[in-house]
Amino acid sequence: MPTNEELYDEATRLKDQGENEAAIAKLNELLAQDEKYALAHSALAVLYTRVKQHDLAIKHAQRVCELEPNEAFSFTAMSVTYQRAGKIPEAEDAMARARMIQGH
């Protein structure tokens, strides 16, 4: 059985080759063996945004924030995901949360 890191690296290679659907499948395979692997959720948020599946992108961005509630970058990334989905109020809320975590 491949490790989480091996699956993630393979998904990254596929993404870099423009094989978004194959990369998505590989990351979902990773999450089937470790649902709490935040990097996979983060990568899926990006990839689902690329293929215009915004609801799935948001779901994975939200999961990253659940797994890493004290990471400002997670909320910043979620803000970008919301922006690209056209959900500006939600994007602003996520950015406000990132700023709050940073202490601004």
pLDDT digits (tens, 9 = 90+) for 13-27: 999 999 999 999 999
Give residue 19's identity as a one-letter amino acid code. E
Q: Where are the domains of the chain?
A: 4-102
Q: Rounded distance, CA 34 to CA 16, Å? A: 23
- Dihedral of CA atoms 40, 27, 43, 86 in degrees, nearest 10, equals -120
CATH of 4-102, one of 3.60.21.10, 3.30.720.210, 1.25.40.10, 3.40.50.620: 1.25.40.10
Q: How confident is the model at residue 12 (pLDDT cuts 50, 70, 90)?
A: very high
What pTM, to 2 d.p., does this model score? 0.94
Q: Rounded distance, CA 61 to CA 2, Å? A: 25
In the predicted structure, residue 104 carries a pLDDT above the cut 80: no
